[in-house]
Amino acid sequence: METLLKSVKIIDKKSDLNGQIKDILITDGKISKIADKIEDKADRVVEGQNLCVSTGWIDMRVSAQDPGYESKEDLSSLAKAAAAGGFTRIVTLPNTKPTVQTKESIAYYKGFSKSQVVDILPAAAVTKNCEGKDFTEMLDLHNAGAIAFTDGSHPLWNADILLKTLQYLYPIDGFLMNRPEETTLALFGQMHEGIESTLLGMKGIPSTAEELIVMRDLKLLEYAYSNIAEKKTNAALHFSTISTSRAVELIREAKAKGLPVSCDIAAHQLAFTDADLKEFDTNLKVNPPFRTKADIAALQAGLADGTIDVIVSDHNPQDEEAKNLEFDMADFGIIGLETTFAVANTYSNLSVESLVDKFTINAAKLLRLPEESIAEGAEANLTIFAPDTEWTFTEKDIRSKSKNTPFVGYKLKGKVVGVINRNQFA
């Protein structure tokens, strides 16, 4: 099987061809030729206006829902949604039923991935059933192939658990991801706490709930590594889906001190504020909640200066039974795999090159994945996209089983054309 990409701009800082427009021939899953013009006949030709190609994108935060909640999403629909969004690798959270906390559960995802265009990289639970009380067998899970450790949608509320996890993972170069939220402060909250929540009469989730845990975790990180002579340079602690201006400041300061910390934001956090909840659209009910214009400006600044390493989808499928309810009874969550790049490209103010770095080089480094580049002889793990194409997102563009997205009808900039991985095109 041969695929020919015609006149594509290469976006890859690790390649000598970065920024150049070339033809690329892919033969049996490998890049066989890169040239100004390739006349070889191919089984598939991909061409269009202003096309770009990069190494395959990575999404570091996806709720799989399978096993246990297959009515919301199964692995087949998840892979289709990821491919439609330009992702060739996705990190799944352990909040399934049963929880991803055994070698068998890791093998379940890896076995499925072998035949797919999208690699599913399972993160394993830090604590049993993600309850924050007792440790899982993290060393065994690491050896079985867990890409990272996290309690996923459940913040690590126990400070001693978090500290010991950092200490346990250090010798094996493990990677800990935590969603920063002080759960007692956020209890029963429905949206960002502020003027809008007061006007709407809804219980708010204060910014302080996020910022307190960022402060706590950074202090514990500093304490855990204070007596270690040989410091690792890659991040050991990662904050998932930060949303406030103060959280960005705290992480920026920690990085300046040399602490091994990183963070991401969900793309949809750039598109809405708490003022958009006036119609009580449950598709806008997410956690962390949509904050203020000032917070969005801080997130954009954090992306620009490198404080925020990665952009994620925070894909969290919810069915009609979970969303078609009164606002305070509806579940949190939004699907995002199909729209993450377009939303980030539309609202982040980043250049295409900087944006692609967030999805490729940065994410791969944090996850300890091998470096990839676009070069002759390399395995073809690629995303093809048109960054300047404006299009309207419709329900027909949804590949997920669930439809909980506020972006239907929105005009976005940047469209994925296809992905190539494992000698497959989607």
Q: Catalytic residue numbers?
A: 314
Q: With CA atoms as reference, report the closest residue to 262 among 246, 251, 253, 270.
A: 251
Non-local (6+) Cβ contacts of 52 within 8 A are 8, 9, 10, 11, 352, 384, 385, 386, 387
**Any long-range contacts for 363-367 (C-beta under 8 Å, 24+ apart)?**
363/57, 363/58, 363/59, 363/60, 363/309, 363/310, 364/58, 365/234, 366/60, 366/175, 366/234, 366/235, 366/238, 366/262, 366/309, 366/310, 367/58, 367/60, 367/91, 367/121, 367/147, 367/148, 367/175
Query: Residue 238: which of 227, 257, 254, 256 has the closest Cα?
Result: 254
Decide if 74 contacts 401 (C-beta within 8 A).
yes
CA distances (Å), origin 183, targets 103, 106, 203: 30, 28, 14
Give the strand pairing for 57-62 and 2-10: unpaired
Structure-block tokens of residue 332: 């949190």
| Beta pairing, strands 52-55 & 382-392 | antiparallel
Verify cis geometry, omega within 30 degrees of 0, for the bond prior to 406.
Answer: no
Distance, in Å, from the CA atom of 420 to the CA atom of 426, rounded to the nearest integer, reads 7
Name the token pair of 151: 């309690």
> Cα 139 vs. chain centroid, distance in angstroms?
24
* CA distance linking residue 273 with residue 113, whole number of Å: 36
Q: Are 171 and 165 within 8 A, CB to CB?
A: no
